[in-house]
Amino acid sequence: MRISTLNIFNTATNQLGTLQSNIARTQMQLATERRILTPADDPVASARALEVSQAQEMNTQFATNRTNARSTLSHVESTLQDTGDLLQDIQQLAVNAGNGTMVLKDREALATELEGRLDDLLGVANTTDGAGGYLFSGYMANTQPFNRTPGGAQYQGDQGQRQLQVAASRKVPLSASGSAVFEAIPTGNGTFQTQAASANTGAAIISSGSVSDRTALTGHDYALSFTVTGTPAVTTYTVNDNTTVPPTAVLSNQPYEAGKTISFDGLSFDIKGAPANGDTFTVQPSEKQSVFTTVTDLIAALRSPAEGSSGKAALTNQLNTAMDNLKSAHDNVLTVQASVGAHLKELDYLDSAGDDLNIHYASTLSDLQDLDVVKAISDFQQQQTTLQAAQMSFKTMSGLSLFNYL
């Protein structure tokens, strides 16, 4: 068959264009060290590489979030440590106030020092996060959590707990609400609280008590009243359950012996000293009380006159109540601090897992996208040789013409 000169030129040109395109593509692969230059090169691998790249970017963002979370939690931990130190100082002052040789002037000096500690404690509770927000205000980061009041301090925040996503399926709380740290403090021994009536005229001192049988607890309010009759004086006591209507007697006309354990309904405590006729003590379930209220009450107790045996007993009872509440407050702060420490430790584990994921993602992307350089160089040399041969053959063929022989 006869082939026209135009057809020969068109076919050769197309072939040279294809060869040049192939060698240009190989050169681009060598320059970028990527096997896939466009999704059309390998649609399946391109889609998979896009998924892996997105997962890798998310993992990088989680690493940034963990860095931010670690910074905030470290600040919270430092603040809680300061809170614990302040509470220890306040407890030490309360212990010093129990010195029987102190007079009103000495206790006034302690009360003044406690006022300074209370201001310091309020300042710590209102600590900011360095970005204009408050650590312990819950979701209301721009609201100062505590305002000073005559009875202690009032919480202005909410019960929320800000969290940050630090892994694909894990969020870490950045702080605790001020209510949980400074207000939700159980009074007494954590189960029940014992208190002396303010109108008592005797010299009896009640202990904090303990739980002797948890299964027998009722959670009721009890009142213990003393009766002193006869000559010589005989002291007895009666315990009434005031939760029932009408109140019912749990113990009636029991002989009083100083320091002897009094037990009923799973509760145990003792009373020391000499109660007066009509003196009463209450035993009630523990409640939640602000640490600021505890310190304010302690200051008021130190400034009250403690004259005579009854006044000293009243002061001792108030100091014992304050000590119990301060211990609970310190324990609560330590619990929150331990939780923060656990979250910091968890971030370390998540960092390690995130580093392993980055290695895995990088390996997967390398398998999907990276170029076999040795093979690509070999292909490039072969394509270069083929192109040069095609160009030389086309030059030779294009020079053939019948006019050369006429």
Cross-strand bridge partners of residue 149: 152
> What's the longest Cα–Cα distance across the chain?
162
The type of residue at 322 is A
Nearest one of 98, 130, 19, 38 to 319, comparing CA atoms: 98
pLDDT at 41: 65
What is the four-CA torsion angle of 80, 82, 84, 86, rounded to 10 degrees?
Answer: -140
pLDDT at 66: 92
Q: Where are the beta strands (DSSP E) in 57-212?
A: 146-149, 152-155, 163-167, 170-173, 185-186, 192-196, 205-206, 210-211
Return averaged pLDDT per consecutive 10 residues of the chain, 406 residues in all.
66 74 72 67 73 86 92 92 95 90 89 94 91 87 91 90 88 88 92 93 94 94 94 92 93 94 95 94 94 94 87 92 94 93 92 87 71 69 76 70 57
Sign, CA dihedral 207-211-212-213, equals positive
pLDDT at 399: 66
- Structure token digits, residue 20: 């040049």
Upstream peptide bond of 39 is cis (omega within 30 degrees of 0): no
**What domains appear along the chain, each with residue ranges and CATH number?**
59-183+326-357 (1.20.1330.10), 192-286 (no CATH)
pLDDT at 224: 96
Entry pTM: 0.79
Distance in angstroms (rounded) separating the CA atoms of residues 121 and 345: 27
The type of residue at 128 is T
H or E segment to which residue 249 belongs: strand 248-255
Upstream peptide bond of 173 is cis (omega within 30 degrees of 0): no
Cross-strand bridge partners of residue 262: 269
pLDDT at 385: 80
- Structure token digits, residue 52: 């892996």
pLDDT at 15: 77
